[in-house]
Amino acid sequence: MGFLDFLFGGGNKKKRSKETVQTRGEHMPDLKIPVDEKFTIQFKKNGGKFIYCDSLDEVHEAFGNILKENQWESLDFYCLNDALRERFSSFGTRFTEMLSKANILLTTCEHLVAQNGSILVTSNQIREIKLTELPDNIIVMATTSQLIESIGEGLKLIKKKYKGQIPTNITTLKHFQPTQENAKDFLTYGSSSKHLYLLLLEDL
């Protein structure tokens, strides 16, 4: 099943086993499903909000809708990426250089990890900032080519990409809004939970 078919349905669907990622025990071997589908399932299970876009125009539209939906138009954004600042400047977005004053983090990422639905970031995106110090609200801009199977694969790709200058503070954003399924996780990790939107641009 393709990525768009999984999100929106349609087409002739083959009969599938009733066993899914959600119903399978956590210690059982992974089901052989596409990496994009697995990421979507795990990301939503973690409580993340996900918007698929097939063009930059759709990215802009989605960003504007997020601002309106949450009434974020007049709030301060923290962003370390100059390209993102420029891309969304047409919305009159206010950026602050002071993390303590920011209401929302706008960032890219290194990879999207299908294994656990997390977002792999490094000091390239958040410097040496601890997850608990980041704003509670986060918007991540990523592309479908950044989807990977596991954290181990992501670390290998980071090592290969940056060679002798491997970034520090390599970590994952995983715990988003609490859901019925991840409630137990939030008892432990609530201090670093985030209200997160993922703008996923098709680039393959």
The domain spanning residue 73 has which CATH number?
Answer: 3.40.50.10420
On whether residue 13 sits in a domain, the answer given is no
On whether residue 70 sits in a domain, the answer given is yes
> What pLDDT, in 10s, does the model give residues 1-41?
444 444 444 444 444 444 455 555 554 555 678 999 999 99
Output the pLDDT for position 181.
57
Closest by CA to 173, choosing from 203, 198, 200, is: 198
On whether residue 104 sits in a domain, the answer given is yes
On whether residue 59 sits in a domain, the answer given is yes
Asked which of 49-58, 100-109, 188-197 is least confident by mean pLDDT, the reply is 188-197
Give mean pLDDT, residues 94-117: 97
- Name the pTM for this structure: 0.80
In three-state secondary structure terms, 173 is strand
> What pLDDT, in 10s, does the model give residues 115-153?
999 999 999 999 999 999 999 999 999 999 999 999 999
CA distance 196 to 14: 33
Closest by CA to 37, choosing from 122, 114, 130, is: 114
**Three-class SS of 45-103:** HCCCEEEEECCHHHHHHHHHHHHHHHCCCCCEEECCCHHHHHHCHHHCCEECCCHHHCC
CA distance 109 to 143: 9
Q: Which residues contact 27 (CB under 8 A, 6 or more apart)?
A: none
In three-state secondary structure terms, 204 is coil
What is the rounded average pLDDT for all residues in the chain? 84
Domain carrying residue 35: 31-201
> What pLDDT, in 10s, does the model give residues 170-182?
999 998 866 555 5
Number of domains in the chain: 1
Q: Predicted confidence band at 159 (pLDDT cuts at 50, 70, 90)?
A: very high
Output the pLDDT for position 36.
94
On whether residue 36 sits in a domain, the answer given is yes
